[in-house]
Structure formats: structure tokens, C-alpha cells
Amino acid sequence: MSYAQIPLDHFKDTFSTAIELSSVALGGKVVSVSDEFFAEAFHLLLVEPAPSLKGQFGPKGALFSGWETRRHNPAYDWCIIKLGTTGSISGFDIDTSHFNGNEAPQASVDVLFSADDDSAPHVDDPRWEELLPKVNLGPSSRHLFTVPPSKGVNYVKLNMYPDGGIARFRVYGLVAPVFPSATAMEFDLAHVFSGGRVVYTSDQHFGVGSNLILPGRGKDMGDGWETKRSRQPGHKDWAIIKLGDAGHLSQVEIDTAHFMGNFPESCEMHALHTNDLVPSDVPEDDWTLILPRTKLGPHRRHFFQLENVAHAAYTHVKITIYPDGGIKRVRVLGRRAVPINAANGDAQAAHPIDAIEADVGSGAPSAHHPDGAPSSPAAGASPASASARGAVIPAVPLTPEAFAPFGKVVQAYAGPNGVPNPRTTRVTGANQGTATKFHKLALLESSYPVGSGASAGLSVYRCKPIDVQPGGEWEVKLLERHPCTNQAFIPMGGAIGPEESEAGVVGDALADPGRAYLVIVAQNGADDKPDLGTMRAFVASGGQGIVYDTGIWHHPMAVLHKTMDFTCVETQIGNGDKLDCEVVDLDGAKGYLRVKVPA
């Protein structure tokens, strides 16, 4: 088997676009080992570099962060590792850091594929194939090797001759992507298990860009992407992600978990269709803006509907942060443009190991068009034809940052560091220490003419659920606005009594109130009607209130699945005057826009 040893200073050029298939962050794990007397083999797969434990001793001797076996092995020691996911292997990093005088003198690597429902392979399994032949190792150093890309495998066997210590073992290659069986199903095209790769970062001083597409939300700031502090005005950092396949994009999730004092002030996202693996030199004008610059908050998942994506398939996205900071994960939801075996009518390859494709993915053609949520005449509504279907808008979880162009979110937070603007939002203790007060999350507004007779007050709305099932779509046929006041809706709780009437209430309170509602909003257009191209939909929880800014178009309250009560805070005249509320019936001649409700 051929191989090449790579100088350490060529690591970036060789492995920067590969995936560390063995990493514990992907689910890599040690399944069996011949011996681990001095240091346990699980250390091999840890994300962090091996620290020096010089001078520290345990019951069995000096401590090391790595795998170390007994002396005097007449044959060799071995460690069987299950990779985090099936993939094609192209190289290894065998690291003997801090093992000096007790390092493994030589090593080799065998590989095989075994179905997930089979038991883990044994050391003498006849399916093992040598991928890296016996190579020499030195003390306290990293040893990089490349090999011809293997077929899809999910187990490796690291052999050391005859015994000794290895600090870290990293297996690099490409993931065999796992796609949904239904071509129309949306999924995370950027996820590492979908074949996504971070192929470029402007800076990764504190945390590497490849962390952005890992599973889960991580454990601390160390497993996110974090750049160094900038000191020059106008600075920005960015990362480019190659999607697992060309796809039609819908929404993005940007997670700042654990980044509370160092999250970016804002971000934006662009997309591109290209056959280049690393489009770092593509002119800025060739990238399509799919998420305008938007503020981010600390330690939370942010969800955004994307723009300019309805009629284009993209292969890459670029996340740009201002001016610097840390992001934990980026999830890009969409559907694949072309199935792998489209000619045969198959939604995906018969097995993930058959799905390792060339770097360019499906190569689906791209046509750049304006956003697929076109502006339509808002007034003079016409009946929708039987076959007309409007564009679909995803209802994303409500966050203060995504809702900011339309109003405010009123809710409590886990702590003072979780508020949207930690530097300016006042958070104090209250009620003799039994409460936390988040001050003035929204202010009341009123611009009624003097003498109009408008007054502020509280009202209660009991809202029945709309007719839509989980995962279904719901047509938006009208919008309203309040020209002279903002308007707040705060969900109310249920009853505590043991008795329930036929109407589902105890006394006058709801016995089992709903827990979620839709918030549908749009900006005002140049024609003083709703700009449907700006329409957005959110799913709010029972723990979140909303405040519509003055003049923002919105749908009346749309409760999901169960009846809910709301306190409404507003200023109004109360006589039906248009200064209180203006309602517009939307034009359905080409189909009403539809909100996609989460399953």
C-alpha cells in the first residue's frame, strides 16, 4: 500500500478541507484494545491537543494523556476504533507528544466496513485490510501520512510495534453522506454527516471553523468557531462551508451556545453555486446575499428565513460575523437539488459508502432570481384559483434578534448574560431576592392625534386554534396594522382547580391552555400596503410575549393546536376608527402565501 509522509508545516494544505472521522466530537470511540496499562486508549480521540503531565505520577507510574501499554510485548499492541461515521480515509496524524523514551517506535493502520447492526470486529477479523503499512515514529512529535482514498469504512485498527505510547490518533477523510430517503424532505445540508465541510476561515484563533458543522451543541466555547479580537473599525471574519450537495435552501440556524461575552455583534450569510472546492478568490459580487446583516444574541439558537433562494441551487454558503467573536454551530436547512441516482429514480445511494462523490456534489445547475416570496397587490383581493399555490414561508422559532425588524420579544432569560443586549439591558434582583427583573424589554408607544380620545389599557383575548396540523401549511389571507400604537400580546396561564367543565375550563380559566402560537408579520411597502416579500413567520412559545411595532403589518393571533388566553396591551380609541386598526385582504389570484408549521 502506497503512502506519503507529510511535513508538519504542510498540514493546512493537506488536511484543512478533510474531516476528522475518528474524533470523539463525531462519535468516534475505542471499542477494544490489547492493553492500556499505563494510559487509557480513549485519550487517542480527544479533540484537544495532549497536555504535558510531566512530574505527575499515579499508582502505575508517570501520567500521560494518551495510550500507553506495558513493556516487553513480543508481538504488537492494537486498538480498534469505530469512526464517528462511515467515510473514505485519506490520511492520518499519529502524535507521540510528550512520549519521549516510551513512544511507540512503529505503527500501522488497518481498516474495514461493518454494518451498524453487526457486532464490533475482533482483532483477527479476516476483513481487515492494511491501509497504512508499518511506519517509523519518533519521540514527542506529530507524524502526518497521506494514503490513496479508501473505500467507505467505519472501523480502523491502530497497531503499535512492539509497545509504548501514542498521545493522539486522528483519521482524516471524507464523510459518506447520509441523506433523507424522500428527495423533497428538508434537512441540514451543512451538517458533517450530510457531507458538509468547512473549507475556509479568515481566522480561527481560539476555535477552529470545522466545529461549526459538528453534531449537537457542544460542551463549552472550546468546540465552536472563535476568532481573535479585532481592533480596527469595519473588521469582519468569515467561514465558507461547502454543502453536502447542491441544494435549494430555506432557513438557517446560527447557534451561539456558551458564547455569552464574546458572541458576534451581528452576522450575514451569502451563497454561491460553484464547482470549486474552496471558492476563496471568488469576487464578492458573485456571492448572493441570502441573510442580510442581522444582530445576534448570547448563548442561544437563532433561526432565520433565507432570502433569494427560491429559484437557485447553491453549493456553498459564507457566514460573515461582525466584527469578530464566536459561533457554536451553523445549520443550513434545505432540500437536495438532484438525487445521487436520479437517473435510476433512487432518492439516494443504496448504502452510504456508495455515496462518496466528487468534491463538486451533484453539480445541479443554478439560476439566480429574486426572492421567491414576490410582492403581490394587497388590496382588491381576488379568489385564488383551484390550482394556484403561493410560496411557502417556514415558521421558525421566535427569537428577539430575528423578530427585531418587526417588534420586541418579551420573555424571561436563564440569567443576566442571556438578554439580547447585555451591555444595555438592566437586570436586577427583586421581591426580596425571590425574583429576577428584566427591565423595560419594550416601551409603550402612541402617536394618536391630540383630542382623538385614545387611551391605554389591558384587554384579554381568548383565541381558538387555527385549522392546521403539525407539519401542515396554512394560507395567509389578510393582514392588519395599527398606525398609531404598538401592540403587545402576553400569553396567560391556565387554572389550578381540580374540576373541569365541558368547555375545557375551570371556572373561567383554561384547564389545559395551548403552548404555541404563530406570529406572522410583514414590513410596509412603497405602495403603503404589505410588502409580501418581507413576510416572515415565527412560532412563539407560551413563555414568550410579542410586541408589534407601530405600523407593522401582522396577522391576527393564530394559536396552534389548543385554545390560549392573551393579555393585550395597547392604546386605542375603541370605536372602530382606522386609526386603531387597518385590515387588508390579500390577493389570492396567484395563490396565497402559505406558512409551513413545524411537525
Q: How far apart are CA 267 and CA 431, in angstroms?
A: 38
Q: Is 396 helix (H, G, I), strand (E, B) or coil?
A: strand
Residue 510: pLDDT band by 50, 70, 90 thresholds?
very high
**Quick one: pLDDT at residue 281?**
86
Residue 401 has phi, psi (to 5 degrees) of -70, -45
Q: How far apart are CA 475 and CA 462, in angstroms?
A: 22
Q: How far apart are CA 510 and CA 495, in angstroms?
A: 6
Residue 383 reports pLDDT greater than 70: no
Q: How is 50-98 classified by DSSP, letter by letter?
A: PPP-TT-EETTEE--SSEE--S--SS-EEEEEEEEEEEEEEEEEEE-TT
**Quick one: pLDDT at residue 181?**
87
pLDDT digits (tens, 9 = 90+) for 478-487: 999 999 999 9
Contacts of residue 59, defined as CB under 8 A and 6 or more positions apart, other chains included, come to none
- When the pLDDT of each residue in the chain is averaged and rounded to a whole number, the result is 91
Residue 342 has phi, psi (to 5 degrees) of -60, -35
Residue 353 reports pLDDT greater than 80: no
Q: How far apart are CA 496 and CA 493, in angstroms?
A: 10
**253 has which bridge partners?**
303, 331
pLDDT digits (tens, 9 = 90+) for 543-583: 999 999 999 999 999 999 999 999 999 999 999 899 999 99
Residue 364 reports pLDDT greater than 60: no
Residue 506 reports pLDDT greater than 80: no
Q: How far apart are CA 430 and CA 449, in angstroms?
A: 37
Residue 367 reports pLDDT greater than 50: no
pLDDT digits (tens, 9 = 90+) for 291-347: 999 999 999 999 999 999 988 999 999 999 999 999 999 999 999 998 655 444 443
**Quick one: pLDDT at residue 586?**
96
Residue 388: pLDDT band by 50, 70, 90 thresholds?
confident
Q: Containing H/E element for 6?
A: strand 4-6
3-state helix, strand, coil in the chain (%, to 5): 10, 40, 55
Which carries the bigger pLDDT value, residue 382 or residue 99? 99
C-alpha dist (Å) from residue 261 to 210, 378, 558: 22, 44, 36
Cα 36 to its chain centre, rounded Å, is: 37
pLDDT digits (tens, 9 = 90+) for 242-270: 999 999 999 999 999 999 999 999 999 99
